[in-house]
Structure 1
Amino acid sequence: MTTATASPGMALRFYRYCWLHYRRNWKGTIVISVANPLLFLVAIGAGLGAVVGSHVEALGGVSYLAFFAPGMLAAASMQNGMIESAFPVSYQRMPGRAYPVAVSTPLEPVDVLHGHALFMAVKIAIGAAAFCAVMFAFGVAASPLAVLALPAAVLTGFAFAMPVAAWAVTLPDVRPVQTLFKWVVMPLYLFSGTFFATTQLPEAVQHLVALTPLWHGVELCRTLTLGTATWAGSLTHTAYLTALALVGYVVARRNYHRHLHP
């Protein structure tokens, strides 16, 4: 089996198609990808934060809002990465949809992958930028390093988007996608340090949590925002998420070729 050489120009054609399609359907996704995380930030971070208290020992001596906001930034980026990859990829690879039509033209499966992956990354970045703007408006950024929380959040989202796209392109229909959000997204939301410090969990569970990609994204965004980041910790989190994205890309490139090549 041979794999065609990727063409940046061809990939940009599919990227432009993604934007054209999004311009016609953006109202159906804007609430989930942007509005919901912002409402979470306001309702839980500011509302529940007032009930929890200003400074809680388990949170490292910071306000609950300052603790929660960067964690929610990472979690929202994870969710957006999955939203932009799971259903769109599984839907567009079905007969008569965008993927089969595209590869019947001079575009190769790898061009489709690159164009769609670029669109995913931009969409994740837009959602993360909107969240960061509100987060900074609340004054929770305690360090100049907080500006790096944006690329950290994008990396977190992309680290989920690539493996999910690699899986979704193999699906015969979109029904299995629902199980992903039920059995992966929700547990990660609850047990990756987004809402509470993982140090409150049993030690054995803490070790398991530290293996999850969202925990690395949450820790990276939170330490950068609070100014507690270290070179060793930040590099470890970044390397983990980058490796996951790269592995996802390699598998996606193979699966796109296998399942889309005419």
Structure 2
Amino acid sequence: MSALALREFRYWMLRYRRTWRGTIVINVLNPLLFLFAMGAGLGPLVDRHAGPATLHGVGFLAFFAPGMLAAASMQNAVTESTRAVFTAIRPGGSYRSATAGPLGPEDVLAGHVLFMAFRLAVSAACFTAALLCFPSLRTAGLLWLVPAALLTGLAFAAPLTAWSATLETPAPMMHVFRFVIMPMYMFSGVFFPVDQVPVALRYVIYGTPLWHGTELCRGLFLGTAAPAALLGHTAYLAALTVLGLLMARRTYRRRLFA
């Protein structure tokens, strides 16, 4: 990380100091309220009528909480890596001002991605801290949730950053959110085990980053996943992050030197 990239990071932090109150509701409170509603409302009903046997031997809240964290990290990553990047890279955007000075495209990219990682980590830490309100969730696995959620978010943020930098209009963002992000949110194992869906759909789900993120967070939290499975999920998410960053570096060079 170069000193010039840290300048870009400080720019985004300065912006965040002025806007953080507005992001609290979307990035932190919404997932937490959903967690409390599901845990206190739906959770006991599921445990009473379905039982732990349908949720791999744990109660609904313990099953749902790490999955919800992975899904929240995905949503936060989408928010940070789409419209903000699209606006910044357009003529008159902050990227153009930065590269008119000493910063290069790689510095702008690195600084902004570092800020995205900061936002993802803070949101994940707030979510994890809220889990302490539930005595049944106070386990050693809580310590692993923040890095697992951070990696999950970066696996979305890096490719979406590369893609958002290529857009000429914001319309495709809504299509991606509606037809890609929301189906993943509903069917990637956050709310129920994937083995309950038809086999054909199951193999599609296995290829999604949210399923890997959910399984990584849940496996680390519950301590039930095999080391090989955890390594596989981590490698998948890390590879997607690295590939996204490489694509973004190429896209930023092309757009900002145009």
Q: TM-score range by the shorter chain?
A: over 0.9
Whether the 8 Å CA contact 2:155–2:241 is kept in 1: the answer is yes
1:172 Cα offset (Å): 1.7
1:173 Cα offset (Å): 3.0
Once residues 125 and 79 of structure 1 are traced to their aligned partners in structure 2, the CA distance between those partners, rounded to angstroms, is 13
What corresponds to 1:37 in structure 2? 31
What corresponds to 1:136 in structure 2? 132
Once residues 171 and 25 of structure 2 are traced to their aligned partners in structure 1, the CA distance between those partners, rounded to angstroms, is 22
Once residues 236 and 198 of structure 1 are traced to their aligned partners in structure 2, the CA distance between those partners, rounded to angstroms, is 17
What corresponds to 1:84 in structure 2? 80
- The alignment status of 1:66 with 2:62, answered yes or no, reads yes
- Classify the secondary structure of the residue corresponding to 1:96: coil
For residue 18 of structure 1, what is the amino acid of its counterpart? W
Once residues 206 and 67 of structure 1 are traced to their aligned partners in structure 2, the CA distance between those partners, rounded to angstroms, is 19
**What are the ranges of 5 or more consecutive residues in structure 2 without an aligned counterpart?**
none
Q: Deviations over 1:152-194 (max 9, x none)?
A: 1100000000000000011123232222211121101101000
Once residues 51 and 110 of structure 1 are traced to their aligned partners in structure 2, the CA distance between those partners, rounded to angstroms, is 51
What corresponds to 2:157 in structure 1? 161
- The alignment status of 1:147 with 2:143, answered yes or no, reads yes
- The alignment status of 1:19 with 2:13, answered yes or no, reads yes
Kindly report structure 1 stretches of 4+ aligned residues shifted beyond 6 Å.
none
Once residues 202 and 33 of structure 1 are traced to their aligned partners in structure 2, the CA distance between those partners, rounded to angstroms, is 32
**1:255 aligned to which of 236, 251, 254:** 251
Moved more, 16-25 or 136-145: 136-145
What corresponds to 1:229 in structure 2? 225
Once residues 12 and 70 of structure 1 are traced to their aligned partners in structure 2, the CA distance between those partners, rounded to angstroms, is 32
- Classify the secondary structure of the residue corresponding to 2:189: coil
> What's the Cα RMSD here?
1.4
What corresponds to 2:207 in structure 1? 211
Whether the 8 Å CA contact 2:131–2:138 is kept in 1: the answer is no
| CA 155–140 in structure 1, closer or farther in 2 if over 3 Å, else same | farther
Once residues 143 and 229 of structure 1 are traced to their aligned partners in structure 2, the CA distance between those partners, rounded to angstroms, is 15
Once residues 229 and 132 of structure 2 are traced to their aligned partners in structure 1, the CA distance between those partners, rounded to angstroms, is 23
- The alignment status of 1:188 with 2:184, answered yes or no, reads yes
The number of residues matched between the two structures is 256
1:53 Cα offset (Å): 1.7
What corresponds to 1:178 in structure 2? 174
The TM-score, its normalising length taken from structure 2, stands at: 0.95
Once residues 171 and 204 of structure 2 are traced to their aligned partners in structure 1, the CA distance between those partners, rounded to angstroms, is 29
**What are the ranges of 5 or more consecutive residues in structure 1 without an aligned counterpart?**
1-6
Once residues 176 and 111 of structure 1 are traced to their aligned partners in structure 2, the CA distance between those partners, rounded to angstroms, is 26
Whether the 8 Å CA contact 1:91–1:174 is kept in 2: the answer is no
1:205 Cα offset (Å): 1.5
Q: Deviations over 1:79-132 (max 9, x none)?
A: 111111111001111111101111111100110000000000000000000011
